[in-house]
Structure 1
Amino acid sequence: MRILVAEDEPRISRFVSRGLKASGYTPTVVDDGITALDYASSGDFDLLVLDVGLPRMDGFTVLRNLRELGSTIPVIIVTARDSVEDTVHGLEGGADDYLSKPFRFEELLARIRLRARPAAGAGSAPVEPSQDVLVSGGLTLNMRTRSIEAATDTGTHRIELSAREYSMALMFFEHPGQVLSREQLLSRVWGYDYDGASNVVDVYVGYLRKKLGADVIVTVRGSGYRLAER
């Protein structure tokens, strides 16, 4: 697995690079935002570890440009900024995870492994077309384009999803009719333990309902959410 590390502090980049090599990964380190965007958008890397405070272009801008270019590379933001506003800004901007400095390498490694799971075995065998989509009623989740196609009386139309919305939708489509708790969604989609004070799951369920329809995701009071049986 090829990992791009965008970090301008040499001590931290050396620490992360050595750890990744020892864990069997192939890291490449860059120390400014413009180079990070150039490398990350090339398609040559499987994951980006992105610092926010980069010279020439900050990490949030790198992330926004990546997503506007259509890149779906998993991005883990690593930064000294740990305010709620910065966390939400990063996640809503398309980051797949957010890790505050200082951190233990084992925690970063666990998050990398979590994000790497969908790609495991990707090159081992051709993927059949039927394995690229998940269907629920008139909705089809396309795992190649990371979008949803909705059937209507006049045909079908594509609904574009952010990286986080796609990850949450995938959880629901993989478990149709099953009640998913907030703890499960946070653990699988965000990769961190459930915080009872956090409403980020509810916020993203709201985003999906606005795009897919208010009745697509059902609230199960006291338990969580489930994809409606259609």
Structure 2
Amino acid sequence: MRILIVEDEAHLAEALAQILRKHHYSVDVVHDGTSGLDYAHSGIYDLLLLDIMLPGMSGLSILQTIRKEGISTPVILLTARGETSDKVSGLDYGADDYIAKPFVTEELLARIRAALRRKGEMVTENTLQYGDIELNTATMKLSCGGKEMKLILKESNLLELLILRKQAVTPKELIIEKLWGFDSEAEHNNVEVYISFLRKKLVHLNSNVGINTIRGVGYVLEVKGSVS
């Protein structure tokens, strides 16, 4: 899961980023509304954390703009205000939730999980299943038939992306954007390395799940021996 934090208080933004990374989310941070809108337009984020008061463009303006453009990415508004008008405006513009600063870490994480559930992602117990494998995104453990192994962060993020997209082909460009960020200098061979790591671990677990290469396009998960 990749989350964008748009927050002009640098110390708070970095603290938020560290908390989310500790819980195995990929995170990008920007400090002004104009940059926030540009990043939101990339389409690579699973959730946006938007401060309401931002230089350049307010969080409410960003929210209103992306919703008018049909971008349905879940949004949680961050605000230091307790004013009902801000909350009402945010919900009317299409926010999924809001949380007032200062907040308790556990509450923020719970609200993030709830927003992602409403989007349709299977995050209730931090587990994803496909074929005979189960991935725990919190512990980054991959299990199959009573055996399990620990993945590194990018392996876990990559397998999570492939599972969530199920039978859809996942282009290498999308993998780079999701795992490294849309302004990253990572290349296709970086993706190929982690695909190779995952394939070896699936074989080691004797899983019936494989990663099929669609030449010139990307990758798709498949259950060996299944009939489409």
After TM superposition, the score normalised by the length of structure 1 is 0.53
Partner of 2:67: 67
- The one-letter code matched in structure 2 to 1:35 is S
1:165-180 matches, within 5 Å, as: none
SS in 1 for 2:164: coil
Question: Which residue among 149, 161, 167 is the counterpart of 1:126?
Answer: 167
Cα separation, 1, equivalents of 2:90 and 2:164: 30
Flag the structure with more relative contact order, 1 or 2, with Cα contacts below 8 A and sequence separation at least 6: 2
Structure 2: gaps spanning 5 or more residues: 123-127, 129-162, 169-228
Instruction: Say whether residues 1:92 and 2:92 are aligned partners.
Output: yes
Cα separation, 2, equivalents of 1:19 and 1:106: 10
- The one-letter code matched in structure 1 to 2:81 is R
Partner of 1:197: none
Answer with 117-126 or 25-34: which moved more.
117-126
- The one-letter code matched in structure 2 to 1:47 is L
Deviations 1:153-180 (A, max 9, x none): xxxxxxxxxxxxxxxxxxxxxxxxxxxx
Cα separation, 2, equivalents of 1:125 and 1:32: 35
Task: Provide runs of 4+ in structure 1 moved above 3 Å.
Answer: none
In the TM superposition, residue 124 of structure 1 has moved relative to its aligned partner by: 5.1
Instruction: Say whether residues 1:38 and 2:38 are aligned partners.
Output: yes
Partner of 1:83: 83
Partner of 2:57: 57
Deviations 1:68-97 (A, max 9, x none): 111000000011122111110110111000
Partner of 2:187: none
Deviations 1:87-126 (A, max 9, x none): 1011011100010111111111110011122123562523
Deviations 1:113-151 (A, max 9, x none): 111221235625238xxxxxxxxxxxxxxxxxxxxxxxx
Cα separation, 1, equivalents of 2:82 and 2:38: 26
Cα separation, 2, equivalents of 1:30 and 1:43: 15
Cα separation, 2, equivalents of 1:16 and 1:58: 19
Partner of 1:112: 112
Partner of 1:212: none
Q: What is the RMSD computed on CA atoms of the aligned residues?
A: 1.4
Q: Tell me the percent identity.
A: 46
Cα separation, 2, equivalents of 1:123 and 1:77: 25
Cα separation, 2, equivalents of 1:115 and 1:99: 12
In the TM superposition, residue 37 of structure 1 has moved relative to its aligned partner by: 0.7
Deviations 1:176-196 (A, max 9, x none): xxxxxxxxxxxxxxxxxxxxx
Partner of 1:216: none
Cα separation, 1, equivalents of 2:58 and 2:23: 28
Structure 1: gaps spanning 5 or more residues: 128-230
